[in-house]
Amino acid sequence: MRKKSIYRSIAFSLAMALFVFLIGFQILPLSYNESSIIDQTDLQAMRAQRIAKDALILSYRPNGEHAQAISELQNTLPAWERQQAWLQQNVRNPDIQTLLDQAQPDYQALDTAARQLLAHPTDQTQMVIILQHERNYSLLMNQISSLVQERAQAINSDLVIFQVAITVAIIVLVILLMVLSRQPKPVPIKKEETT
């Protein structure tokens, strides 16, 4: 009987540990910043395209549309610079970091040309520089987004497998606890007949 009590304690402790572990697996995806990286790289590509659009407006559209393009550039550039710095600081994966490093020259050329364009809105050279670098920068940001999405899906698949395995282990332990907790039925003692 003492042995059964020890087995029950071990099974219960193990079930509780696995349950806590399962809760940890539920919380784990919240600690990854993959979704933030995907969002920011997609936004960075859109911002680069917006910068190129504004450069074209300043070069080819009537002066009446210039004020809006300049205003949009003034609003876009700080967010674009801030998010590029955030990406550089928060990416830990070497493959993604390599792509970010490859995008850096295009980013710097775009940023410098856009700043110059704000100072001199009719500078055609800056418009040409922006158009030369925007496409490559946007493509690299889209590649980063795709790579991060693939990694996140692979991690999620692994987490699901681990969660199913832990859940099965908990179910087995609960069944074992039920079996160990069963009290044996007392065997009725038969009275001997007297003759």
Among the residue ranges 20-29, 108-117, 157-166, 172-181, the one predicted with the least confidence is 20-29
Residues recorded for the chain: 195
Percent of the chain, pLDDT > 90?
44
Q: What pLDDT score was predicted for residue 129?
A: 95
Cβ neighbourhood burial of 62 (10 Å; 0-12, 13-18, 19+): exposed
Mean pLDDT of 63-84: 92
pTM for the complete prediction?
0.70
pLDDT range class, residue 158, cuts 50, 70, 90: confident
Mean pLDDT of 156-162: 81
Q: What pLDDT score was predicted for residue 22?
A: 76
On the question of pLDDT at 3 being above 90, the answer is no
- Whole-Å CA distances, 93 to 45, 65, 89, 154, 188: 20, 42, 11, 14, 69
Q: What pLDDT score was predicted for residue 105?
A: 97
Mean pLDDT of 120-139: 93
66 and 58 Cβ atoms separated by less than 8 Å = yes
Non-local CB neighbours of 123 within 8 Å, separated by 6+ positions = 116, 117
Mean pLDDT of 1-16: 77
User: Where do the structural domains in the chain lie, given as residue ranges?
Assistant: 2-24+33-181
- Whole-Å CA distances, 80 to 73, 180, 187: 10, 62, 80
Mean pLDDT of 159-186: 79
What does the alpha-carbon distance between residue 163 and residue 26 come to, in Å, rounded to a whole number? 8
Q: Which pair of tokens denotes residue 32?
A: 């990854």
Q: Which pair of tokens denotes residue 92?
A: 């830990």
Q: Which residue has the tokens 């681990």?
A: 162
pLDDT range class, residue 82, cuts 50, 70, 90: very high
On the question of pLDDT at 17 being above 90, the answer is no
CB count in 10 Å sphere of residue 10: 14
Mean pLDDT of 61-89: 91
Does the domain formed by 2-24+33-181 have CATH 1.10.1280.10?
no
Cβ neighbourhood burial of 66 (10 Å; 0-12, 13-18, 19+): middle
